[in-house]
Structures are given as C-alpha cells and as structure tokens.
Amino acid sequence: MTGENYELALALAQNDSDLLEDIHDILMESGLTEETYAKTFARMYYTEKEAAERISYDPSEKEWRRAGHALSDIRLVTELGKTCDLIHAYALASWDNCVFSAWVSKKEVQKAEEKMAAMESLTHAKGIFALASELMPSSVSGSSKIDWATEDEDDG
C-alpha cells in the first residue's frame, strides 16, 4: 500500500505494519462498527503492550488504568481519538489503493467517512468503551483493596 493516507496511517500506528494488518482484518470482519473500534482500541493499547504501557479496565473499581494507575476520562478519550484517526486514515488508504476506487463514484467513500464521523459521537464512544472493557481486563482487579470486615465482628 502507498499514498498519503497510508503514510498517515503508518505514522499513527508508530510504524507498526502488523497493527495495520490487524486493523485490516478487523475491518474486514466487523465493518465500521463499535466492535471494530473496540477491537482496534484493544489492539493498540492492550493486546501487544508491555504492562507499563497497557491500558486496561478494572471492573471492581469501575475505572480504566494505565500501568496500574487510574486513567482520567480525558486521557482515555484522547487515546480513543487516536484510534478513530488511525481507522479513518487506514480506511481511506485502503480506498485509495483499491482498483474499484477508479471505477466507482466518491459517494461510497463519502458514506464511509460519514459513518466514521458518526462513530465519534459520545453515544458510540460509550458503546465502544463498554465493548473494549471486556477485551482489556485489568490483571490487578481488586487485589489492592483491603477487606476491613472480619469474621470476629459477627460474634460480638
């Protein structure tokens, strides 16, 4: 693949061509859906990341974490924004390199761009995060909480 959109996608993927191949597979499997965005988000920030870089969801605390520390909502949304940018750039690069793009009107790519823009709404973001939370479980879930209740209190 070549072209301006591909170069942008590669830069957004931090030159990880394997990530772009995985995004291709995810898009082929799920289309432009919340599932695609959640899977891509998980692939970018969880699946192949070292523990110190990994973003995960702790269901017991109901919070997103990076390297075991709580991740603010703004930081989380910022990372999802990067995912949206990467999907957008890769989808356009795929269109640019498709033989059919020369034969079919631009209306098809415009429909895809509209669908990608719609995925960036807060409603879809909530759905994406809900799906991603299941794909990105925290390995320290609940381990840092102390249960102060003891069995002896019931005997008193």
Q: What pTM does this model have?
A: 0.83
pLDDT digits (tens, 9 = 90+) for 115-145: 999 999 999 999 999 999 999 998 754 444 4
List the one residue out of 8, 51, 42 whose CA is nearest residue 23.
42
Question: Packing angle between helix 4-12 and helix 73-96, nearest 10 degrees?
Answer: 150
60-91 burial, b at 16+ Cβ within 10 Å, e below that, comes to: eeebbbbeeeebeeeebeebbeebbebbbbbb
Chain centroid to Cα 58, Å, comes to 16
| 76-124 pLDDT, tens digit each | 999 999 999 999 999 999 988 876 666 777 888 899 999 999 999 999 9
Show Cβ contacts of residue 152 under 8 Å, excluding neighbours closer than 6 positions: none
Residue 51 has pLDDT above 50, yes or no: yes
